[in-house]
């Protein structure tokens, strides 16, 4: 049966936030395809997650050249799902991709910020996804060995060609963010968005980046707001089968220190008192700052997605809750 999205998907269940000083709105919660959508994952599970997300008002899907594994396979799978399920809904979607990390062999395949790599990588991503353009194309990381002018010039070129409607950067320092925005401005290209990591357990953007973004009029989409699953109840009673920690790639068992587990337990109690899951509170918490446009989550199945999206049912925090959270996460 062809996919028919829920006609009630825009009936107020998902808030949309303006991205910096632009004309573009993003859903409060966006979905990333870094993990769980690759060639080694079950295709129909990923497809069900994407459909469910769209049914619940998630209009932004985030990818990158090397999401998988293997590299490129998340974009390939997304391209299949795009063609099968979302072709009629392209203009309801904000689709992003990135280049910066390892991608193909040889001197031009990354990690890099060269014009050669960034432009070729965007073209490859468009082919894999079967798209004419992405809505946002990112420089995925700072490449200290490439002049910033060259990397930003490549983004501006993709923007001028219409292959990227908007451009963004990920994990740049406040200083380099300011410099990147200034170079893009010379090309008459606004810096739409920055994609940094941000969660209850990782608060580096509070040390200047958020202020810089507000000043520049650049939006902020916070990746890994669940700290890759640590900010859920899954590790409270051991390590469950299939959890990301067991894959040993990006989330190492070493992160589950006694210190972190003690913090997570206290946070879970605060969440319970709010009538939320810890995942829901962790998402609501990154969104408490109006400078954060969207929380960029991952999900391994539809149940997790549903649980996380229910965060929007309680986004407000009482002062006492915020101070209890501060105390629980202080060094």
For ligand NDP, the closer of residues 35 and 124 by Cβ is 35
For ligand NDP, the closer of residues 124 and 171 by Cβ is 171
What is the torsional sign of CA 193, 195, 200, 202?
A: negative
Contact residue for ligand NDP among 195, 218, 293, 329 (CB under 6 A): 195
Q: Taking CB under 6 A as the rule, does residue 35 contact ligand NDP?
A: yes
Residues 143 to 172 in contact with ligand NDP, rule: CB under 6 A = 170-171
Stretches 7-15, 30-38, 147-155, 205-213: which one binds ligand NDP (CB under 6 A)? 30-38
Minimum Å gap between C-beta 311 and ligand NDP is: 9
**Residues 108 and 116: beta-carbon distance below 8 Å:** yes
Q: Taking CB under 6 A as the rule, does residue 304 contact ligand NDP?
A: yes
Stretches 102-110, 228-236, 253-261, 264-272: which one binds ligand NDP (CB under 6 A)? 228-236
What is the torsional sign of CA 165, 170, 175, 179?
A: negative
Q: Taking CB under 6 A as the rule, does residue 20 contact ligand NDP?
A: no
**Residues 46 and 36: beta-carbon distance below 8 Å:** yes
Q: Which helix (H) or strand (E) holds 260?
A: helix 258-273
Cα separation, 131 vs 96, in Å, equals 11
Give the distance between the most distant pair of CA atoms in the chain: 54
* Residue 64 CA: distances (Å) to CA of 23, 77, 121, 124: 24, 12, 10, 11
For ligand NDP, the closer of residues 155 and 279 by Cβ is 279
For ligand NDP, the closer of residues 101 and 104 by Cβ is 101
For ligand NDP, the closer of residues 36 and 151 by Cβ is 36
Cα separation, 117 vs 107, in Å, equals 9
Please give the residue ranges that form the binding site for ligand NDP (CB under 6 A): 32-36, 62, 140, 170-171, 195, 223-229, 232, 234, 243-244, 279, 296-300, 304, 307-308
């Amino acid at each position: 049966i062809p996919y028919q999205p829920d006609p009630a998907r825009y009936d107020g269940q998902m808030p949309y936030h303006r991205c910096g000083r632009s004309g573009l709105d993003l859903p409060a919660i966006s979905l990333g395809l870094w993990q769980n959508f690759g060639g080694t994952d079950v295709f129909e599970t990923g497809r069900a997650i994407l459909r469910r997300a769209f049914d619940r008002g998630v209009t932004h899907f985030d990818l990158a050249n090397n999401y998988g594994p293997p590299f490129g396979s998340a974009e390939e799978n997304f391209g299949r799902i795009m063609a099968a399920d979302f072709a009629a809904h392209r203009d309801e979607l904000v689709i992003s991709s990135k280049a910066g990390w390892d991608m193909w062999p040889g001197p031009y395949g990354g990690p890099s910020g060269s014009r050669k790599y960034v432009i070729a990588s965007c073209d490859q991503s468009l082919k894999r996804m079967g798209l004419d353009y992405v809505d946002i194309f990112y420089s995925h990381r700072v490449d200290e060995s490439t002049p910033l002018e060259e990397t930003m010039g490549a983004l501006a070129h993709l923007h001028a060609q219409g292959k990227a409607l908007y451009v963004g950067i990920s994990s740049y320092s406040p200083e380099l963010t300011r410099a990147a925005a200034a170079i893009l401005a010379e090309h008459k290209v606004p810096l739409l968005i920055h994609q940094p990591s941000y969660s209850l357990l990782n608060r580096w953007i509070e040390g200047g980046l958020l202020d810089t973004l507000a000043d520049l009029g650049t939006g902020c989409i916070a990746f890994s707001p669940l700290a890759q699953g640590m900010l859920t109840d899954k590790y409270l009673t051991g390590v469950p089968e299939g959890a990301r920690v067991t894959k040993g790639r990006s989330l190492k068992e070493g992160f589950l220190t006694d210190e972190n587990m003690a913090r997570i337990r206290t946070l879970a109690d605060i969440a319970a008192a709010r009538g939320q899951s810890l995942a829901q509170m962790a998402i609501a918490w990154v969104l408490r700052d109006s400078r954060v446009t969207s929380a960029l989550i991952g999900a391994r199945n539809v149940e997790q997605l549903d649980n996380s999206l229910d965060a929007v049912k309680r986004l407000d925090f009482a002062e006492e809750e915020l101070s209890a959270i501060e105390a629980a996460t202080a060094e």
